[in-house]
Structure 1
Amino acid sequence: MSLKAKLRLSNPWTQNFISGIILAMTVGIYLAILGLGAGGAQPSSAHVTTTAYATLYAVFTFTGFFGGSIMNTIGPRLTMALGTAGYSMFVGGLWYFDLSGHSWFALLGGVILGISAGLLWTVAGYIQFAYAEEKDKGSYIAWQLFLLSVGCALGALVVFLITKDITTLSGVPTSVYVTFIVIMASSLVVSFFCILPSEKIVREDGTRLAHFSATDFRTEIKECLMLLKDIRVVLLIVPMAATEMSSALIPTLTAHAFNLRTRSLSALINWTIQIPATLLFGLVLDNKRYARRIRGTMGLTISFVIVLIGWGLALSFQIKYGIKRDVESPAWDWTSTPYVAYFFVIFFTGIAYAIDQMMVMWVMSSLSNEPKLLARYGGFFKGMLSAGLAIAFGQEAGGVSYLGQTLTQTIMQVVSFPVMFYLVLKYVSDTNYFAEEGVIPPQEIQESAAKGNFGAVQDGATIEDGTDKAVTDFEEVVRN
């Protein structure tokens, strides 16, 4: 297929790529500031910024939970545009607080961003979950997170270049805030002109995603609440909450222990290492030589090992160097001996953050192909991630020791893996992907079904015995 056809706006891959670009322009820049600790301000301001973050994620938990219902009602374009709007306002609030010392705008910005971020992430999750075929779900997740990591790395690079000669505990200059606000505001334009309605999305083989029908908001809310009756979704709550929490703690440790230019360098390293990590891990999850259940088990094993290494190093660093909130900051520079050890903390926790989040997304996306359900999954997923961050920032705002926070997050992540291994081994298979009501299979599967080979659904898999109902549903989809 020609490059022009590949990049047409209605191509699912193109929509996923654009979604990643929007994430880079908004969330990427936001996370670049978050990675500095204290919202880019002086470490002494950490309490106010942490409270703003805790407020943000508490609101985000609620809006994320119902984000799928909103998107299914007003569509992905408007939902995405509304979702981008709060980021520049939040950064503006941090900027105002850094200049004036007045916290009200930063706290208000946290509430507004909590609302809009839930909408943004719902659409992003929906696109990566629902637009990809089963064989491509790992790569769709990887591309979004790859582009997000690029945005984070570029944002961190901007900060680093501006602050590389600042060896004090100061906050970032005004030019950083202005640059970031302009980039974030531009994402609103991209959303309006480039995100298409789902019914206009056409695969490369000419087939569409599903038969779309209008639903009212009351029905959507009811269906969203029904997620809590799905044991698979309920079991994923702890893994979802745990996977994002390190993005609060690691920057906090960095802000406490190091000067500004070292904070900037650490953020740059953290986000840069995630760029290759996401792409390489996506290759594992989409490796066609293995069945999906085996791929999932391989991915979980790799992720589990990296998580153990990363959090083990974080614990040992705090114990060895006595990192405590009630001890005055040593204001180490990157030339200091402790930074050699901290480099490996940043390196492995950065990789762990990226691939563990990918793993949770992959497991959740494997549970269905039905677009409207996946929209609810996407919103619920980000809502639970936000709940985890609300807990993390709440611990920090409440004065919980750094070691206590690290132990809490380590235990939550370690407990998550047996749960995900269970879900992969019990619920992930290579059969009946397109038997759900209204879902249109790709052309190659329709052709296979037309020849009577209903077993050749994906990757050479065969429909197992005892699935007559699923086969009947699939035949009905093909005939219609």
Structure 2
Amino acid sequence: MDEKHVSEVSSDSPSHTPAVESTQKKGKPWMHKSIKLGPLTIPAYATPQFQIIFVALVCFLCPGMFNAVNGLGAGGQVSAVDINNANTALYSTFAGVGFFCGSIANRLGLRLTLGIGGFGYFLYVASILSYNHNQNAGFLIFAGALLGLCAGMLWTAQGAIMMSYPSEKEKGRYISRFWAIFNLGAVIGALVPLGQNLHSTAGAVTDGTYIAFMVLMAAGFVLSMFLCDPRIVRRNDGSGIILMKNPSWKSEILGLFETLKNDYYIIGLFPLFISSNWFYTYHFQGVNLPYFNLRTRCLNNVLYWSMQIVGAFLVGFLLDLGKLRRSVRARYVLAGLMLLTMAIWGGGYAFQKQYTRADTLGLGKQHTGVDFTEGKYIGPMFLYMFYGFYDAAWQVTVYWLMGSLSNNSRKLANFAGFYKGIQSAGGAIAANIDARQIPFMTQFGTNWGMLAGSIIIAAPVIFFKVQDTVPIEDDLKFSDETVADVAPASEIKEIRN
């Protein structure tokens, strides 16, 4: 733990020896041993480094592959109507339960919550495969609704781990690493349909594409069961993760409302949350699907998610620049996000003026689309790549801002639940708007306005609530743990002496 503030030990605290012993490593000895393979050192299993990479691999195989499917535009189908209805069900359910998933994760534990979450992605792609043969929209929509529940659980567990496990000075780095590995899944997933459809001019992808995704998602679901118990995890300095020792359904439901009461300022970030998934529908169904043919959509998919990796690493590096105090960095990054919004979406406005929904997906229209061999492809290609870069910059920044407000895993699970629930409400509304055949320019304007407006609304929270470091006593107020439970033994000894 890199925090410099360690609360004073009160007169009724445990004696010196028990306090030090309580910070000793828990679990089996092998969990705390790193592995040396030549020049490469694999971090110990029970360390934040290993666990965050582990969670990233689960997301690589589950939501990463889901993003690859969705990025094809209409889930690889020609018509977006039923896919949009399924996405509406998905994000509506996600929004409904996501707000409470922090309480669920705190009560069930992060490992079980992550595992249950992984299953829904497998079933959803199976429903698209079924739809490919029987046009069973009911099963597709049901699978979307179930995925909403599962995704809420997976992303809440992931968010709590990603924001609370690293030390304060490393949060940007580890958030960006997670985002890069997660989106590498989408890149590899996107290469599958690209390879299968490179010489195809058809409108929909083949069964083999969906089966390949299902196999990979099943592997992610199984892998999630091997997540380490967070009570065993120790940072390099010996500090532990702040949790609840004895959570109950009552304590965690009350804790949800306690978070809203004591950390009311988080409401100022809600517009950032709802904007963060709103633009996916426009990117996939408003740009990639109508403007390009199938094989070019597949190529765009690879480029989009590849730029997510570039964006994540670059933004993560800037977020952890040690030469600037964290409060100053937070203000600069918010200003940088606004500049990106104006620049990239300004270019998007010029592009969107070139076509309409009626031009590309009107009734009776034969969907052909632009091919990557055509000269007019280059400009839209770079725009679509920058859309991917922008998504990573937005998501990594929002996670880092939430993580800068607390180091308490219990509170951050609630923050993650708020984020994913509200984000999904935005996704549901955006999918429903597209299903109603709203003009592409209207969708574009809604996205641009919401993104810029949400940054302005969030500014007061960032300026007044992000501290250079969060005192450990403040983090412990929202748990039943003590300094002796989570602080490094060296710091406890220093205070005792």
Q: TM-score, normalised to structure 1's length?
A: 0.89
2:376 corresponds to: 338
1:85 corresponds to: 119
Q: CA–CA distance in 1 between the matches of 2:145 and 2:208?
A: 25
1:40 corresponds to: 76
Q: Indicate if the aligned counterparts of 1:363 and 1:420 stay in contact, CA closer than 8 A.
A: no
Alignment deviations for residues 100-142 of structure 1 (CA, whole Å, 9 cap, x no partner):
2221111111011011000000110000111111101111211
SS in 1 for 2:200: coil
One-letter code aligned to 2:339: V
Change (3 A) 1:373 1:254: same
1:231 corresponds to: 264
SS in 1 for 2:374: coil
Q: CA–CA distance in 2 between the matches of 1:410 and 1:387?
A: 17
SS in 2 for 1:198: coil
Question: Is 1:422 the equivalent of 2:460?
Answer: yes
Q: Indicate if the aligned counterparts of 2:65 and 2:186 stay in contact, CA closer than 8 A.
A: yes
1:455 corresponds to: none
Question: Is 1:72 the equivalent of 2:106?
Answer: yes
One-letter code aligned to 1:183: L
Displacement, 1:211?
5.9
One-letter code aligned to 1:302: G
1:216 aligned residue (234, 237, 248): 248
Q: Indicate if the aligned counterparts of 1:77 and 1:192 stay in contact, CA closer than 8 A.
A: yes
Question: Is 1:248 the equivalent of 2:286?
Answer: no
Q: CA–CA distance in 1 between the matches of 2:361 and 2:265?
A: 42
Displacement, 1:317?
1.1
The alignment-based identity, stated in percent, is 30
One-letter code aligned to 1:78: L
1:182 corresponds to: 215
2:7 corresponds to: none
Displacement, 1:293?
1.5
Q: CA–CA distance in 1 between the matches of 2:128 and 2:209?
A: 11
1:27 aligned residue (58, 63, 80): 63
1:411 corresponds to: 449
2:184 aligned residue (150, 173, 180): 150
Change (3 A) 1:225 1:338: farther
Q: Indicate if the aligned counterparts of 1:363 and 1:423 stay in contact, CA closer than 8 A.
A: no
Q: CA–CA distance in 2 between the matches of 1:434 and 1:6?
A: 29
Aligned residue pairs total: 450
Q: CA–CA distance in 2 between the matches of 1:302 and 1:11?
A: 32
One-letter code aligned to 2:149: I
Equivalences for residues 311-326 of structure 1 within 5 A: 311-322=345-356, 324=358
Q: Indicate if the aligned counterparts of 1:10 and 1:196 stay in contact, CA closer than 8 A.
A: yes
Structure 1: stretches of 5+ with no match in the other structure: 452-477
Question: Is 1:368 the equivalent of 2:402?
Answer: no
Displacement, 1:207?
2.6
1:472 corresponds to: none
Alignment deviations for residues 209-265 of structure 1 (CA, whole Å, 9 cap, x no partner):
236411211221222134444332111111011022222211112111211001101
Q: CA–CA distance in 2 between the matches of 1:228 and 1:58?
A: 22
Q: Indicate if the aligned counterparts of 1:76 and 1:196 stay in contact, CA closer than 8 A.
A: no
2:46 corresponds to: 10
1:471 corresponds to: none
Q: CA–CA distance in 2 between the matches of 1:441 and 1:32?
A: 45
One-letter code aligned to 1:186: A
Q: CA–CA distance in 1 between the matches of 2:491 and 2:452?
A: 42
Displacement, 1:396?
0.7
State which drifts further: 112-121 or 204-213: 204-213
Structure 2: stretches of 5+ with no match in the other structure: 1-32
Question: Is 1:172 the equivalent of 2:208?
Answer: no
State which drifts further: 371-380 or 317-326: 317-326
User: What do you get for the CA RMSD once the two structures are aligned?
Assistant: 2.2
Q: Indicate if the aligned counterparts of 2:310 and 2:389 stay in contact, CA closer than 8 A.
A: no
Q: CA–CA distance in 1 between the matches of 2:163 and 2:351?
A: 37
Question: Is 1:95 the equivalent of 2:136?
Answer: no
One-letter code aligned to 1:263: R
1:137 corresponds to: 171
Name which structure has the greater RCO, CA cutoff 8 Å, separation 6+. 2
Displacement, 1:49?
0.4
Q: Indicate if the aligned counterparts of 1:369 and 1:433 stay in contact, CA closer than 8 A.
A: no
Q: Indicate if the aligned counterparts of 2:406 and 2:470 stay in contact, CA closer than 8 A.
A: no
SS in 1 for 2:204: coil
One-letter code aligned to 2:44: R
Q: CA–CA distance in 1 between the matches of 2:257 and 2:54?
A: 30
Question: Is 1:284 the equivalent of 2:322?
Answer: no
Q: CA–CA distance in 2 between the matches of 1:30 and 1:145?
A: 15
Q: CA–CA distance in 2 between the matches of 1:274 and 1:441?
A: 40
Displacement, 1:298?
2.6
SS in 2 for 1:111: helix
State which drifts further: 64-73 or 415-424: 415-424
Alignment deviations for residues 427-459 of structure 1 (CA, whole Å, 9 cap, x no partner):
1121343222236599998756865xxxxxxxx
Question: Is 1:380 the equivalent of 2:418?
Answer: yes
Q: CA–CA distance in 2 between the matches of 1:444 and 1:368?
A: 15
Q: CA–CA distance in 1 between the matches of 2:323 and 2:485?
A: 21
